[in-house]
Amino acid sequence: MNINTETAEDNSFAQFPLQSKILQAIDELGYETPSAIQKQTIPILLEGKDLVGQAQTGTGKTAAFSLPMLEQINPKSKKVQALILTPTRELAIQVAEAVHSYAKHLGKVKILPVYGGQSISQQIRHLKKGVQIVVGTPGRVMDHLRRETTDISDLKMMILDEADEMLRMGFIEDVEWILSHTPETRQTALFSATMPKQIRRIAEKYLTNPVDIHIKQKTLTVPAIEQYFINLSARNKTDALTKLLEIWSTPDEAILIFLRTKLDTERLTNKLQARGYAAETLNGDMNQTQRENVIKRLKSKRIEIVVATDVAARGLDVEHITTVINYDMPSDTESYVHRIGRTGRAGRKGKTVLFVTQRQRRMMRDIEHYTKQKIEKLNLPTQADVIEKRSERLKDKIKQTLQTQDLELYQELIIELIEEEKLDILDLAAAATYLSASDKKLEVVKTPQKMNFSFSEEGMVQLFINVGRKHRVSPGDIVGAIANEGDISGKAIGAIDVNETYTLVDVPQQYVEQILLNMRKSRVRKRNMNIRIASDFETNKSSNHKSLTKKKKRRRKPKRRKNKSPGPFDKFMKRKRRKK
């Protein structure tokens, strides 16, 4: 069987001398193998050397510097031991969350994101209690250092994340100021997607004999298949996938979906199975026999969708895989080429889609650059497309049933119904079709078209706020407002989705009431905020915003023709009656 036979030990995180508590957290997060940047960076940072890494978002660089960093942290000391500078509040929060998840089993390691827009007194309170890792934007970090509200005299490690972005945003002088106020004994790592002169100069001035890491991307030959991408936000991926599957899935063609972690492959498989798809997981947690069984079932068309991680699907050779969906961005160009090579086998046609969030656009351009092929934009199927496809499928199903099944018993049942209940033949046919549509009904107006609601994580509730990009609101503003005025920790706030005219934000269920109460009169960007539970829109509970929900269209019943001449059905009925 043509699947990867590599054992987990060959290429797992266990190759690094990291403590078992960190490895355990990595395993629980579902990471199978270290990404290219992690493979090269982790050993160097563990040796205590300085490093300049050319890498961008999506390559796994956060874990690349965080794991060796956590290895050095002494949880018993309450002083700041590591400082990570990021260009934006959003990235500071994201990185802090990631480090927090890697430190899960390390006991009391405190990680604090600090950024402008959030109350400084609250940050000072946290800092006073003792924080070992600070993740912040340059301006706010500088503020704390000037006020001496944080003591970095014991700083062991300093990370400059997305240095070119900090340069572009005009923070580079602040960065230099901070660097010059940190102890010289610190270890420093600088990450940047590009290496402009000013960044090189900083590396030369402030880093000591840094090792240069640049993941060399080969120009790769890509199979001749259609390549597409879809722009979306992370929270809309499942919805987008469902729509694509509605349009593309057929019993004769298999679809392969790629995700980054084992855990996520399992979660997504469960969701798809719940929606009636014959989907199964293929990941590194499964032994060889289990994997081979999945492939057997795929080959014999008992499964239509496989949800896989990169390692598990390497070498997978199944002719009727016609579609590869990159649900998560691959960690590098090579993975992308491996992934899409699973389709278009044996000279067949194939297509592939890449889900791209705003922050991942650069990564996609890299892929295009190294494969020397353009990835075409694909618009998500609309609700109308989905309905049209469902109608087509229903018609085919009915036509096929008429051709292949003996329906006499069913005809008799219908005749009985007509005679007993005086029912109309069109109504009866419609009811029967409705039943055969099972959960793929033709009237789907579930979510308001204007708003992309999605399901929040367990224990979280999605809130709607009436301000968005149009009002120049950033995720940081939202975090700041909810954290300060709602009086909850910024870390507790979940996914934030800033749209054109509104924002959706996930918050822990237990704080909802408090947030709604405290924020009744809050303002953001000089606008009064209207904040409420997002699902209230879906159930039409909200009176103020009814206009945002789409009104269901009432279908008019088609008028029946009266006094029509007898059709084939009437003749059939007459014959039956005569027989009796």
Percentage helix, strand, coil for the chain under 3-state DSSP, each rounded to 5: 45, 15, 40
The helix-helix angle for 61-72 and 89-102 (nearest 10°) equals: 60
Contact set with ligand AMP (CB under 6 A): 31-32, 34-35, 38, 57-63, 260-261
CB of 28 to ligand AMP, least distance (A): 12
Please give the C-alpha separations between residue 306 and each of 74, 251, 288, 309, 316, in angstroms, as whole numbers. Answer: 43, 13, 16, 10, 11
Secondary structure of residue 490 in the 3-state scheme: helix
For 560, how many CA atoms within 13 A lie in the half-sphere containing its CB? 9
Calculate the CA dihedral of residues 445, 449, 452, 456 and round it to 10 degrees: -20
State which residue, 26 or 167, has the beta carbon closest to ligand AMP.
26
State which residue, 86 or 522, has the beta carbon closest to ligand AMP.
86
User: Per this entry, what is the length of the chain?
Assistant: 580
State which residue, 35 or 188, has the beta carbon closest to ligand AMP.
35
CB of 94 to ligand AMP, least distance (A): 7
State which residue, 32 or 485, has the beta carbon closest to ligand AMP.
32
Of the candidates 363, 365, 271, 268, the residue with the CA atom closest to the CA atom of residue 325: 268
What's the one-letter identity of residue 414? I
For 6-14, the CB contacts below 8 A with 24+ separation are 6/311, 6/314, 8/32, 8/284, 11/311
State which residue, 90 or 280, has the beta carbon closest to ligand AMP.
90
State which residue, 61 or 243, has the beta carbon closest to ligand AMP.
61
State which residue, 89 or 260, has the beta carbon closest to ligand AMP.
260
CB of 89 to ligand AMP, least distance (A): 16
CB of 165 to ligand AMP, least distance (A): 13
State which residue, 476 or 486, has the beta carbon closest to ligand AMP.
476
Contact 354, 226 (CB under 8 A): no
CB of 475 to ligand AMP, least distance (A): 15
Contact 344, 224 (CB under 8 A): yes
Region of 148 please: left (phi>0), alpha (psi -120 to 50) or beta.
left
CB of 88 to ligand AMP, least distance (A): 13
d(CA 395, CA 391): 6
CB of 162 to ligand AMP, least distance (A): 10
Contacts with 280 (C-beta within 8 Å, 6 or more apart), sequence order:
269, 294, 297, 298, 303, 305, 306, 307
For residue 136, with 0-12 CB atoms within 10 Å meaning exposed, 13-18 middle and 19 or more buried, which class applies? Answer: buried
CB of 122 to ligand AMP, least distance (A): 26
Of the candidates 355, 356, 544, 538, the residue with the CA atom closest to the CA atom of residue 451: 538
CB of 524 to ligand AMP, least distance (A): 27
d(CA 533, CA 541): 10
State which residue, 39 or 243, has the beta carbon closest to ligand AMP.
39
CB of 377 to ligand AMP, least distance (A): 23
State which residue, 284 or 480, has the beta carbon closest to ligand AMP.
284
